[in-house]
Structure 1
Amino acid sequence: MTAPTLENNRVKLIPLDLSNYKQLITIAKETDLIYYSPNTISTPETLRDYVQTAVDGFYNNTTLPFIVYDKQLQAFAGSTRFGLVNHKNKVLHIGWTWIGHDFQGTGLNSHMKFLMLQYAFETLKFEKVEFRIDERNKKSRKAVEKLGATLEGILRQDTVMSDGFRRSTCCYGILKSEWPAIKSNTFKRF
């Protein structure tokens, strides 16, 4: 898998690596930014470890991480990635997404997801995109449902959080056959 830059008039998704992750240090310190994630990014060291894991996955052909640049605000906003990439079955996940509080609710996330879904279905020719979200994270669940993803089930107490809590994970999916309708209905303004 190559590391493309994905871009439209609102957002630029640039491959994330150890040469550019420092642009995110200030944002990563924001309170409760990734509360529903089992990861920690609140210090420069934990952010570097987080990015190193993503980069290792890229070299193992299982992840494709991005740093998010908001073209409207002319600022780096956060990070997202393709992960759990299964080339044989043509299935991948979109997730590990976090953007600073100032960027939330601005439409930036919808632009990010559009570019990623378009790339997954139209360039990579994958058959399915999945999203996994903490059952308690109502905001992210609503956002993924608004994209047109279908709740396929809940994995009960499948992920241990950093505080020891065992979260349940909601599994959402979009099939390649559903993408044309989602693209024309949900993303018609893009």
Structure 2
Amino acid sequence: MKLKNISLEDSRVKLIPLSLSHCEQLLHIAMEPGLTRYSPSEIDSETALRAYITDALDQRDKNLAIPFLVYDKNTGTPAGCTRYMHIDWKNKVLHIGATWLGREYQGSGLNTHMKQLMIDYAFQTLQFEKVEFRIDERNVRSRKAVEKLGAVLEGILRKNVYLTDGFKRNTCCYGLFPESWKNTKTDLLSSAGE
């Protein structure tokens, strides 16, 4: 399977393979103040964003990640980035993360559609047995969002990741299994306006 050719789409969102050519389209979003407050990634300049995308593509070339540009079909504009990461093909576990969306897209239902596509693809097509999420303990909004997906808090890694401002965060580890996902998927889409 060629990881650089994977695209996912529904009525609301299209996830297309991320490339360096997207840097210009994403820069105005990446420069929004505080966008990656809880993230270890620096993206708030053209140089930083290019390095971020280059790293994502290097991880993809090593079969460890599948990065996407998030395209909002309602507005016809790029909205941000997301990716499968820390892909463990042997144990059939991957993370969904490195997600950032412009403020105008947050709370719009776009993230729900995006996660639904990614989780379905991970479980149904890639045949993974677990999807994980890693979130700053202070990021209550993101934690509630993954809990709505049916993900369960499995533990907290204390002071394990430095952020760009020098703060060392506690990281909440969430896990989602196919059976829990089936139970929440229908309700999730109906609440997102599908």
CA deviations over 1:65-119 (Å, ceiling 9, x no partner): 0001000011110000000000000000001000000111100000000000010
Shift of 1:161: 1.3
Measured in 1, the distance between the counterparts of 2:187 and 2:142 equals 20
Q: CA deviation at 1:187?
A: 2.9
1:4-83, aligned counterparts within 5 Å?
4-83=6-85
* Contact 1:121 1:179 (8 Å CA) reproduced: no
* Alpha-carbon separation, structure 2, partners of 1:7 and 1:46: 28
**Aligned counterparts of 2:61 and 2:134: Cα–Cα separation in 1:** 23
Give the C-alpha shift of residue 179 in structure 1.
2.4
Q: How far apart are the structure 2 equivalents of 1:22 and 1:62?
A: 25
Please state if 1:159 is matched with 2:155.
no
The one-letter code sitting in structure 1 at the alignment partner of 2:148 is: K
List aligned pairs for 1:31-180, cutoff 5 A. Answer: 31-180=33-182
How far has the Cα of 1:184 moved from its partner? 2.9
Of 123-132 and 170-179, more deviation after overlay is shown by: 170-179
Runs of 4+ in structure 1 displaced over 4 angstroms?
none
State the 1:144 CA deviation: 0.8
Question: C-alpha root-mean-square deviation of aligned residues, in Å?
Answer: 1.2
Q: CA deviation at 1:146?
A: 1.3
Task: Tell me the distance in 2 between the aligned counterparts of 1:60 and 1:38.
Answer: 21
Structure 1-normalised TM-score? 0.96
The unaligned stretches of length 5 or more in structure 1 are none
Number of aligned residue pairs: give it: 190
Unaligned runs of 5+ in 2: none
